[in-house]
């Protein structure tokens, strides 16, 4: 750059700029863990409210509340637990650069998640109480419905990963955050259901 001086001489200066681009650590998984911790706190608050209801009322569920069937929810529970092992196989496959194997395991997981949701809707349509029947009924629908929403989001995330995996080179042994994030979310959904199933269906 030239800076003109009044005596018609010039001073030539060179400005050297160097860009320092340091690689930033990948914090996406850390962010995912924080997100799930926040979601877990929401469920924890709901579980705490449910247990408070149980402790504060002399009879819970209130008298006259039809007893919940265990067969269908039990099958749904086994299905969801098994799906966690299935989706883990997908993560193991992509780490071996087995993209096709990952796609198959993810597709099976999505199907198992859809089966879980169908089972939940079927149970809703055959229950002998509604959302406003009593406090237990309201808590039941809120807890199971909120969890069902998370299962739905998990299924959609898995399907999205499957769609992205169709793009050549999008996922491989070194680059597979989307797969790991979907798997972690699915494990979270699974653990929440186990706790929920124990509180609502098994705790007498």
pLDDT value of position 23: 65
pLDDT value of position 125: 94
Q: Judge whether residue 126 has pLDDT over 90.
A: yes
Identify the residue with better confidence: 120 or 1: 120
Instruction: Please identify which residue in the block is written with the tokens 């060179």.
Output: 14
What's the rounded Cα separation, in Å, for the pair 85 and 81? Answer: 7
What's the rounded Cα separation, in Å, for the pair 182 and 154? Answer: 7
Give Cα separations from 66 to 53, 60, 77, 137, 150 (angstroms).
18, 12, 21, 10, 27
pLDDT value of position 24: 67
Structure confidence by residue, pLDDT tens digits, 155-180 = 999 999 999 989 988 888 888 889 99
Domains and CATH numbers, the chain: 27-202 (1.20.120.80)
Q: How far from chain centre, in Å, is Cα 140?
A: 21
Q: Tell me the pTM.
A: 0.84
Structure confidence by residue, pLDDT tens digits, 4-24 = 444 444 444 444 444 444 566
pLDDT value of position 7: 47
pLDDT value of position 17: 42
pLDDT value of position 25: 75
Q: Judge whether residue 99 has pLDDT over 80.
A: yes
Q: Judge whether residue 39 has pLDDT over 90.
A: yes
Per-residue tokens: 42: 């929401």
């Amino acid at each position: 750059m030239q800076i003109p001086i009044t005596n018609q001489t010039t001073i030539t200066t060179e400005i050297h700029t160097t860009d320092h681009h340091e690689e930033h650590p990948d914090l996406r998984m850390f962010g995912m863990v924080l997100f799930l911790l926040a979601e877990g706190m929401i469920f924890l608050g709901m579980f705490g409210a449910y247990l408070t209801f149980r402790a504060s009322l002399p009879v819970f569920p209130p008298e006259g509340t039809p007893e919940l069937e265990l067969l269908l929810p039990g099958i749904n529970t086994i299905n969801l637990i098994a799906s966690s092992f299935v989706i883990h196989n997908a993560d193991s496959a992509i780490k071996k650069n087995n993209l096709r194997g990952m796609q198959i395991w993810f597709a099976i997981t999505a199907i198992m998640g859809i089966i879980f949701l169908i089972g939940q809707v079927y149970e809703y349509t055959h229950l002998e109480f509604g959302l406003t029947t009593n406090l237990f009924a309201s808590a039941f629908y809120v807890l199971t419905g909120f969890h069902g929403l998370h299962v739905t989001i998990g299924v959609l995330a898995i399907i999205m990963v499957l769609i992205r995996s169709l793009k050549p080179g999008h996922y491989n042994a070194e680059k597979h955050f989307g797969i790991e994030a979907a798997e972690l979310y699915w494990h979270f959904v699974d653990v929440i259901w186990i706790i929920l199933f124990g509180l609502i269906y098994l705790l007498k």
